[in-house]
Chain A
Amino acid sequence: MPPDETIIALRDLTKTYDGVRAVDGVTLSIKKGEIFGLLGPNGAGKTTTIKIMTTLSRPDGGVCTVGGFDVTKEPRGVRGIIGVVPQENNLEPELTAYENLLIYGLLHKVTPLGETVRGHLEMVDLWERRDQVVSQFSGGMKRRLVLARALLADPAILFLDEPSTGLDPQIRRHLWDIVRKTQKEGRTVILTTHYIEEAEALCDRVGIISHGRLIALDTPGCLKDTVGGYVVEYIDAEGRLVQHLCRDRAEAHEIAGGIRENVTIRKTNLEDVFIKLTGERIE
């Protein structure tokens, strides 16, 4: 397949809950093999968008195709090529780690099942704990098991909804390594996050979403370029955080020189983009 081939396409996608538009006319396309991030605050519509793409939620309007399959007309086609890490660790708490993957593997007709389950439990360092019931696992272990489960059927597309929420930094880095490895193996990865660092560390392209609408979409570098390269920030006499967006380091130093308070000069990040576009913070 050509590298720029679109694997997921959304056109005018809408979803309304109790009169509130959770997804409001989202149009975007995701290329095969990229790590694509949906960035936005909680309640922005990221999870609903993922639920539609993974056939868990039916859209009210618009079109969504995943791997060439229409999510409403050919959901089983979509389900055969995706793996999903949902926001919550939806594991069977009273079953063992091995049994959780066994059931998933049978549902997805994984062969050879035993060998594949073992390989995936080893990948997330849980093989030694395979016979332990999941309710005894820590949050990080459960998250790793959910990730192993999502990859068990060798999906072409991996969806991760807030994959590292609640994880300590070390486990978060381990998870990021697995996601990068997943991409190198040829998969497309779509993740939602409200962590700026995660979006910048992992994503080839980022869509910024606010109140159900896609308000920006580009590579992290290009998005940051739209607000300049540097930020000068300080706390003013009334205790408020003041920020100046600057084109380059020279401009930042020039502005900093004229400020009496203690100033910090740092590179711009995606939160600066979000603030400029919406006037709100992400985290």
Chain B
Amino acid sequence: MTAPGWYPVFLREMLHFRRKFFKLGYLFSAMVAPLIYLAAFGFGLGRSVHIDRGDYLAFLLPGLVAMSSMYNSYNWIASSLNINRLYFRTFQIYVQAPVSPASVMVGEVLAGMAKGFFASLLVIAVGFFSSPDFALGAPFVVALLMNCLLFSGLGVIVGMGTKSHEETATYSNLFIMPMAFFSGTFFPLEKLPMAVKAVIYVLPLTHTGILIRKQAFDGEGLWSLGVLVLYSLVFLLWGSRMIARYSE
């Protein structure tokens, strides 16, 4: 029996991940941003913040998990694809192999999900130590997986489309970083003006933030899940198309 087409793509990323995992720098870089935000907003500023839902730390932690999974899924795949395509030129062995573009896409996305999920586990572990109100329900797990899937897909699109590593970083600074701050990670969205809300509700991380804080799947949660599924499908199809149309 032969392995499915996506498996070697996924395996390649995991072999790289295994090597990086045992380097101190990797764990530090995966943890540092959420921990700084947790320290600054949760333990610092957060002590004087009161929200209707109760403990601010319990509100903040799921948002940080969503943010961390977004950063790690997206950055890993966008950077890896960009460097492998333009610098090491190892992406070309996928293009010249008899596997479907969808297989390459699925392999890359699964690898991005694994990386994002692992980074999130670190934040979740910190969450359990930090707040007694922090809990994981089914919506939390579904939102986390969907977020990893969605942003890995976006990572493929950016990694395939950009012409330099600098350009990849520009997209990250222009879209990913603002999204981390304005999608309900640090504060509830209910009291924002309608015009601002309309923009923020277009952003996928907003819907991860909504779903990940639910204790059960209610109407709002299911609506957000639908948005995440839609985004994921669009990104998967778009990424597969870019791989299929790859030409030098």
Contacts and interface: CB of A to CB of B under 8 A. Distances in A.
Interface bin, chain B: 20 to 34
B93 interface: yes
Interface string A103-116: 11011110100000
B97 A79 contact: yes
Contacts of B92: 56, 86, 90
B99 A107 contact: yes
Nearest to A17: B248
Contacts of A172: none
A253 interface: no
B170 interface: no
Interface in A53-92: 54-58, 76-77, 79-80, 82, 84, 86, 88, 90-92
A280 to B, nearest CB: 26
Contact of B95 (A55, A77, A95, A104): A55
A43 interface: no
B248 A57 contact: yes
Nearest to B95: A56
B89 interface: yes
Contacts of B98: 76-77, 79-80, 107-109
A84 B3 CA distance: 22
A108 B95 contact: no
A102 B89 CA distance: 18
B7 interface: yes
Given A90-B89, A104-B93, A57 B11 contact: no
Contacts of A56: 92, 95-96, 247-248
Given A56-B95, A91-B90, A109 B2 contact: yes
Interface string B1-39: 011010111011001100100000000000000000000
A94 interface: yes
Contacts of B94: 107
Given A51-B248, A95-B15, A99-B15, A106 B7 contact: yes
A51 B7 CA distance: 26
A125 B131 CA distance: 58
A76 B8 CA distance: 17
Contacts of A51: 248
A186 interface: no
B95 A106 contact: no
Given A86-B92, A92-B88, A103 B8 contact: yes
A90 to B, nearest CB: 4
A139 interface: no
A93 interface: yes
Which of A55, A56, A82, A102 gathers most chain B CB within 10 Å?
A: A56
Nearest to A81: B98
Given A94-B16, A106-B11, A107-B8, A86 B89 contact: yes
A88 B97 contact: no
A58 B15 CA distance: 32
Contacts of A106: 2-3, 7-8, 11
B162 interface: no
A111 B1 CA distance: 9
A66 to B, nearest CB: 12
A16 to B, nearest CB: 13
A76 B97 CA distance: 7
B19 A55 contact: no
Contacts of A103: 8, 11-12, 15, 93
A107 B247 CA distance: 19
B100 interface: yes
Given A76-B99, A103-B8, 14 more contacts: A51-B248, A54-B96, A56-B96, A56-B248, A57-B247, A58-B247, A79-B96, A93-B88, A94-B19, A102-B11, A103-B93, A106-B3, A107-B8, A108-B97
